[in-house]
Amino acid sequence: MTDALHIISPGSSTTVQDMGRFAAYHMGVPVSGSLDDFAHRIANWLVGNSSQCAVLEMSMIGAQFDILCPADMSVTGADMRLHVNGQPHPQWTSIRVHPGDVVELGMAENGCRAYVAITGGINVPVVMGSRSTYLGGRVGGLAGRALLAGDILPRGEGQVRDNPRSLPWIPLYPDKIFIRAIAGPHDDWFRNSLDQFFSSGFTVTAQSNRMGYRLVGPEIRRDPDAPQSIISEPVMPGNVQIPADGQPIILLKEQTIGGYTNIATVISPDIFRIAQARPDDTVQFLRVELDEAHRIYREWREFLKSIESLLMDGFSG
Amino acid sequence: MTKNLHGHARFKISGDRSILAVYGTGVDQAVNDRVRRMATLIGNQKVIGIDAVVPSYCTLSVHYDPLKIGFDVLKNMLLELESRLNQADIPEPRTIDIPVCYGQDFGPDIEFVAHHNRIGVDAVIQMHTGSAYHIYAIGFAPGFCYLGGLNPRLHAPRLETPRVLVPAGSVGIAGAQTGVYPQASPGGWRLIGRTPLRLFDPERLHPITYQAGDTIRFRSISVNEFDDLGRIETP
């Protein structure tokens, strides 16, 4: 284990995340993990890591840090105007860094969350099967919290690559996003408002975080015979809750059960689009049925596999 | 052998990665026991493509990978398992003993709860330790139990202004519910005592030592016992 990064300034909320903690829901411990799992994967593959490696997730304002050991580094996700030693540098590409280098990320110019991967992955202890930080429960990551100035993060074993890699395009995050969702699990109680839900635009509010995104828009009313609230049921990332005020909340990765009715559920390949949405962006839900959602899922996984072989090709280790 | 109380489960789609199985309605211990037994049975099958099983009051969620298992296959498998639920060898729920030091600094609201119900502090302790509490669900916070079975004579309203910090292990009452805060957190429950046991510790092999469907009993201990037990790891 080698010390890899020294945090000079942590940004607004920077956490260690991997792909999540999948087997602890029944203990009240949610999945956590990188909200944008697409940018997470690309960041790792660019430096030759498995997609399971832990990265840093930064929200809206990026961190500033010193490099403590030779490594490859990549920054993906939101455009945070990456600078290395004061020089601007493109994201979505691998960069060789050396001890003494200073890396700076600024305010997100496009998108909301940036991901920093380093050779070998961020090596904090595995807690309940994952290195991900669950902020609400103070589990995992570095002492269960967001990073602070002065923190030092080690990296795992891994070899630097012979030549740099890049994703052949730079993903952009539009300020009007379309996300596909399946009606339910409680669509039975929204028979009169389901069409309205799937045809309206909603605005992202500042009350949005790793637990969920609060939206505002036309009031989505439950049917008159529907209950006000339900007895707590298990929830999934992507569930769209309709609380009493009729304003949707898209649940993300820090909740296991909940007592509100869910009108629809965002399909898993589209969750990263929400993760990159910023306050005042517009969200519109597009209805898909389960069969189509599974077809999209299979195509998405094929797409990811093709990028993985592109970026990992010729690298062993 | 138990009867099939409610016919077979109804299934709801909760996104592209999970199926929600509904085994009944309401806060019902028989339904909840069915959920617990199903969750155990599904977990024991170690089916490829099932990533997690999450039980709650009357529903359970099965997380799956659509690349590995189809929705209809999964649904039929759940129905098939349910049909042999009554024959399945599933351990009975356990009873977990939780020692609590009532009152004093540990339970600053015990007088309020007593006064509110027009009983004495001793009666609060007696009634709170006199019931068996069924764990209907675990969630909201790591290891937090939604318990049933609070004596109606102990019901008490929440604080008007929640405390900024409630210490880990605090035992409280909110309306008709009682529960323990496994971790320090802000909270509005009326605090009547505290357990020295660490109910949730992510560093342990078993971060919690109970599961949904088990029974909790509280036991009154002295301040000295509190200090001694504080050195023991788990309930």
Amino acid at A275: A
CATH number of B170's domain:
2.40.100.10
Nearest-Cα distance to chain B for A282, in Å, is 22
Plot region of B177 (φ>0 → left; ψ -120 to 50 → alpha; else → beta): beta
- pLDDT band for A204, please (50, 70, 90 cuts): very high
Rounded percentage of chain B residues whose pLDDT exceeds 70: 95
Asked if the structure places residue B3 within a domain, the reply is: no
Cα separation, A57 vs A115, in Å, equals: 5
Q: Classify residue A316 as exposed, middle or buried by CB count within 10 Å of its CB (0-12, 13-18, 19+).
A: exposed
User: Among B14, B23, B40, B69, which would you mutate to test the A interface (most chain A Cβ atoms within 10 Å of its Cβ)?
Assistant: B14
pTM of the model: 0.94
Q: Give yes or no: residues B119 and B210 share one domain.
A: yes
By CB atoms closer than 10 A (0-12, 13-18, 19+), residue A291 is: exposed
> CA B76 to CA A48: how far, in whole Å?
41
Residue B192 lies in a domain: yes
Residue A148 has pLDDT above 70, yes or no: yes
Query: Nearest to residue A186, comparing CAs of A252, A261, A260, A266?
Result: A261
pLDDT of the residue at A185? 97
Q: Where are the beta strands (DSSP E) in B68-167?
A: 95-102, 133-138, 145-148, 163-166
Structural domains counted in chain B = 2
pLDDT above 70 for B4? no
* Residue with token string 């077809």: A295
Q: Does B82 share its domain with B110?
A: no
Contacts of B202 in chain A (CB under 8 A): 29, 127-128, 137, 139-140, 144
**Nearest alpha-carbon partner for A25 in A232, A257, A211:** A257
Name every chain B residue with its beta carbon within 8 A of the beta carbon of A237.
15
Average pLDDT of span A283-287:
98
Please determine, for residue B6, whether its predicted confidence score (pLDDT) is greater than 80.
no
CA B12, CA B129: separation in Å to the nearest integer? 39
B50 touches B42 (CB < 8 A): yes
State the smallest CA–CA distance between residue A255 and chain B in angstroms: 7
> Are B40 and B64 part of one and the same domain?
yes
- Measured CB to CB, residues of chain B less than 8 Å from chain A are 12-18, 20, 25-27, 39, 51-61, 63, 66-67, 70-71, 137-144, 146, 183, 200, 202-203, 207-208, 211-212
Mean pLDDT of B64-82: 96
Interface check A231 vs B, CB under 8 A: yes
In B, which residues are within 8 Å of A250 by CB distance? none
Residues 6+ apart with CB under 8 A from B18: A234, A236, B61, B62, B63, B64
B-chain residues near A127 (CB < 8 A): 202-203
Question: pLDDT tier at B233 (50, 70, 90 boundaries)?
Answer: low
Give the count of beta carbons closer than 10 Å to the beta carbon of residue B188.
14
Best A126, A145, A254, A257 residue to mutate vs chain B (most B CBs within 10 Å): A257
User: DSSP class of residue B106?
Assistant: T
Judge: B63–A236 Cβ closer than 8 Å, yes or no.
yes
B43 and B118 co-located in one domain = no
Over the stretch A218-248, which tens digit does the pLDDT of each residue have? 999 999 988 777 889 999 999 999 998 999 9
Buried b (16+ CB within 10 A) or exposed e, B108-118: ebbebbbebbe
Q: B123 with B40, same domain?
A: no
How far apart are the C-alpha atoms of A220 and A248, rounded to whole Å? 8
d(CA B122, CA A262): 44
HEC letters along chain A = CEEEEEEEECCCCEEEECCCCCCCHHHCCCCCCCCCHHHHHHHHHHCCCCCCCCEEEEECECCEEEECCCEEEEEEEEECCCEECCEECCCCEEEEECCCCEEECCECCEEEEEEEEECCCECCCCECCECCCEHHHCECCECCECCCCCCEEEECCCCCCCCCCECCCCCCCCCEEEEEEEECCCHHHHCCCHHHHCCCEEEEEEEECCCEEEEECCCCCCCCCCCCCCCCEECCCCEEEECCCCCCEEECCCCCEECCEEEEEECHHHHHHHHCCCCCCEEEEEECCHHHHHHHHHHHHHHHHHHHHHHHCCCCC
Q: Per-residue pLDDT tens for A262-276?
A: 999 999 999 999 999
Contact A137 B60 (CB under 8 A): no
- Is the sign of the CA dihedral A220, A225, A228, A231 positive or negative? negative
**Structural domain of residue B48, as residue ranges?**
10-87
Q: How many Cα atoms occupy the beta-carbon half-sphere of A283 within 13 Å?
A: 32
Q: Which of B132, B126, B180 is nearest to B154 (CA)?
A: B126
- Give how far Cα A98 sits from Cα of A67, A71, B56, Å: 6, 7, 50
- Flag whether B235 is in a domain: no
Question: What pLDDT score was predicted for residue A162?
Answer: 84
Structure tokens at A269: 């390949």
Q: Convert the pLDDT of each residue in B79-104 to its tens digit.
A: 999 999 988 888 899 999 999 999 99
- CATH 2.40.100.10 residue ranges for chain A: 176-297
Q: Quick check: A232 and B200 CB within 8 A?
A: no
CB contact under 8 A, B16 and A127: no
Is the Cβ–Cβ distance between B102 and B124 less than 8 Å?
yes
pLDDT at A316 exceeding the cut of 70: no
Q: Is residue B121 part of a domain?
A: yes
Give the integer Cα–Cα distance in Å for B192 and A102.
52
In a shared domain, residues B70 and B110: no
Structure confidence at residue A140 (pLDDT): 97
Q: How many CB atoms lie within 10 A of CB A245?
A: 9
Answer whether CATH 3.40.50.150 is correct for domain A176-297.
no
Residue A141 contacts B, CB cutoff 8 Å: no
Chain B touched by A185 (CB under 8 Å) = yes
Helix (H) or strand (E) holding B170: strand B170-174
* Contact pairs from chain A to chain B, CB under 8 Å: 135
Within-domain flag for B134: yes
Final residue in a domain of this structure, among B87, B111, B130: B87
Query: pLDDT at position A317, please?
Result: 42
Query: Is B206 inside any structural domain?
Result: yes
Q: Which residues on chain B are in Cβ contact (under 8 Å) with A180?
A: none
Q: How far apart are CA A45 and CA A315, in angstroms?
A: 10
Q: Is residue B2 part of a domain?
A: no
Do B78 and B101 lie in one domain? The reply is no
Q: Are residues B125 and B221 in the same domain?
A: yes
What is the mean predicted confidence (pLDDT) over B157-183? 94
pLDDT class of B230 with cuts at 50, 70, 90: confident
Q: Quickly count: other Cβ atoms within 10 Å of residue B66's Cβ.
A: 20
Structure tokens at A119: 């050779």
Distance of CA A221 to the CA centre of its chain: 30
In which element (H, E) is residue B20 found? strand B18-22
Same-domain status, B141 and B52 = no
Are B70 and B106 found together in one domain? no
Coil, strand, or helix at residue B226?
Answer: helix
Residue B172 covered by a domain: yes
Same domain as B62, residue B114: no
Q: Is A297 left (phi over 0), alpha (psi -120 to 50) or beta?
A: alpha
Q: Does A138 touch chain B (CB under 8 A)?
A: yes
Q: Are residues B110 and B157 both part of a single domain?
A: yes
Output the pLDDT for position B1.
37
How many whole angstroms separate alpha carbon A112 and alpha carbon A64? 17
Confidence of residue B7 (pLDDT cuts 50, 70, 90): confident
Q: Residue B31 belongs to a domain with what CATH number?
A: 3.30.1360.40
- Pairing of β A176-183 and β A261-266: antiparallel
